[in-house]
Amino acid sequence: MTPWNFLQAPVGSQPERSVPRRRYSARFENIDVVNQFGESLRFRDDLVADRMVVINTMYTTCRGSCPTTGTVLMKLRRDLTDLFGSRIALVSMTLEPEVDSVAVMRRYSQDFGAGQRRDDLCPWHFVTGQPHAMDRLRRSLDFFDLDPRVDQDLSQHDATLLFGNDQSDRWANLPAAVRYGQLLATIRRIVGESFEERYGIPG
């Protein structure tokens, strides 16, 4: 019997090295955005830093994927609140800030029960901003297509969710069209902080 490979570097024996960490969110553009209540926010500092977040792109006149994605997010908001309370937030960012003013976004958010602040549900921000800044933001979040023709065509925009936990620096994305149970289980697994929070069973 040979010594256990484990002995090579036993658990806990290595001192924690002070190498710098740069979180994935360091790539996110920290632009000024405004939510449906007219609040000015810094995207990275106020919506992402140290938080759990689910981000998607939308525009209010979309007749394609947005209404469906919005409905999915409504359900997610309820279920994620049960799991994470107000530690998590949803962010829907517009791809058409020229059209989607704060007032338009507020009206739109009412369709999804997000027109008023609610204490019983986690925050859901519908954000708009300066067109150029918003474009930089979506690119920094990889909501774009390499084919410029497709990228310019709003009706072909990404119907994906980007979600993560900035504290644990764990991120993933999924198409919003994935089966709802899958979506919820995956978000929970990625953003959850303890074994139990991620998997629903004691670690």
CB of 93 to another protein, least distance (A): 13
Amino acid at 112: F
Contact 202, 195 (CB under 8 A): yes
CB of 160 to another protein, least distance (A): 5
Using CA atoms, how far residue 143 sits from 116, 146, 175, 187, 192, in Å, is 27, 10, 12, 18, 24
State which of positions 97-156 bind another protein (CB under 8 A): 141-143, 145-147
State which of positions 5-44 bind another protein (CB under 8 A): 5-9, 11-12, 16-27, 44
CB of 71 to another protein, least distance (A): 15
Which segment (70-78, 80-88, 128-136, 192-200) binds another protein by CB under 8 A? Answer: 192-200
- The token duo for 57 is 């792109």
To 10 degrees, what angle do helices 180-191 and 66-84 make?
50
Measuring CA to CA, which residue among 36, 27, 70 is closest to residue 166? 27
96 contacts another protein (rule: CB under 8 A): no
117 CB contacts (<8 Å, ≥6 apart)?
A: 37
Which segment (103-111, 112-120, 129-137, 186-194) binds another protein by CB under 8 A? Answer: 186-194
30 CB contacts (<8 Å, ≥6 apart)?
A: 42, 43, 44, 45
State which of positions 39-78 bind another protein (CB under 8 A): 44-45, 48-50, 65
Residues that bind another protein (CB under 8 A): 1-9, 11-12, 16-27, 44-45, 48-50, 65, 141-143, 145-147, 157-160, 162, 164, 166-179, 181-182, 185-186, 189-190, 193-195, 199-201, 203
